[in-house]
Amino acid sequence: MVARPALSAAAFVQEWLTWKDRGERQPVRPGANMDGSPATLRPPVMPAKPKQASALDDITTGLSAVRLCPTGASMRVCVKPIRAPARTSPTGRPLCGGFSLVELVMVVVIIGMLAAMAIPRFANSLAHRRVEAAARRIAADLALAQRRAKFTSASQKVTFDVVANSYLLVGVQHLDHPDEAYQVSLSEDPYRAAIVNVDFGATDPEEIVFDGYGVPDSGGTIVVDAGGNQKTVTVDPDTGRASVQ
């Protein structure tokens, strides 16, 4: 393209008038607008640089926050939970979480159901322990009477009272109270048991006698009961050994 020579002011006006009469497009003076007015110099408008998301740009959505985390040349989305603001009272103090009346009633009902199932089992277990302890106490005292008869080389008598739920080692002092006779009441703590039946098959069915060698005059059984649980103490007629069944 051939560059046009620069025009003077008079030549430019003359050329402009000539083109105006012809109805042609008017020449544009360098540094002027289309209508010939002086052009106003404006700084070049630079395109806006797209904003780069930072790690602090959070977008709250419901109960979570979406965070754009830059990782090198790419971006990734990080989701983090948002804690609900703590409730405060009119005085500004934080309120502690509580239970509704329905929740409280449900908890009480559940506890009552569990107690209704556990209490009978506990009572039955306690009765079983008591009758077991009472039967073993009788067997232990019968063994004590047999050993005493061997030690003293004299007969030792043990009598049972079904009505009073007790038994007595005749001529033996109480281990804790030497001035008292060795008598055990099964109706008191910790046994709270009852003697249901005593049968030694001798002249006196509620009495057993060990001779100087520890041999009983007869064998027999003692039945004890506690809360519907029963145990039987059996005395061997030959050896005099007492066992719990």
What pLDDT does 37 receive?
Answer: 57
User: What domains appear along the chain, each with residue ranges and CATH number?
Assistant: 118-244 (3.55.40.10)
pLDDT at 46: 58
Q: What is the pLDDT of residue 32?
A: 54
Query: Angle at the Cα of 158 (from 152 to 162), degrees rounded to 5?
Result: 170
**SS3 assignment for the chain:** CCCCCCCCHHHHHHHHHHHHHHCCCCCCCCCECCCCCECCCCCCCCCCCCCCCCCCCEEEECCEEEEEEEECCEEEEEEEECCCCCCECCCCCECCCCCCHHHHHHHHHHHHHHHHHHHHHHHHHHHHHHHHHHHHHHHHHHHHHHHHHHHHCCCEEEEEECCCCEEEEEEEECCCCCCCEEEEECCCCCCCCEEEEEECCCCCCCEEEECCCCCECCCEEEEEEECCEEEEEEECCCCCCEEEC
The pTM assigned to this predicted structure is 0.56
Q: Please report the pLDDT score of residue 205 as a whole number.
A: 84
Beta bridge partners of 182: 169
Tally of residues, the chain: 245
Q: In which residue are the tokens 């009469």 written?
A: 21
44: tokens are 């070049």
**Which residues share a beta bridge with 236?**
none
User: CA quadruple 199, 200, 203, 207: dihedral positive or negative?
Assistant: negative
Cα torsion 173, 175, 178, 183: sign: negative
**What integer pLDDT is reported at residue 50 of this predicted model?**
56
- List the chain pLDDT tens, one digit each, 245 residues: 455 555 566 666 667 666 655 555 555 555 555 555 555 545 555 555 555 545 444 444 444 445 555 555 555 555 555 565 666 666 766 666 677 889 999 999 999 999 888 888 888 889 999 999 999 999 999 999 999 999 999 999 999 999 999 999 999 988 888 889 999 999 998 999 999 999 998 678 889 999 999 999 999 999 999 988 999 999 999 999 999 98
State residue 198's pLDDT score. 94
How much is the pLDDT for 134?
A: 95
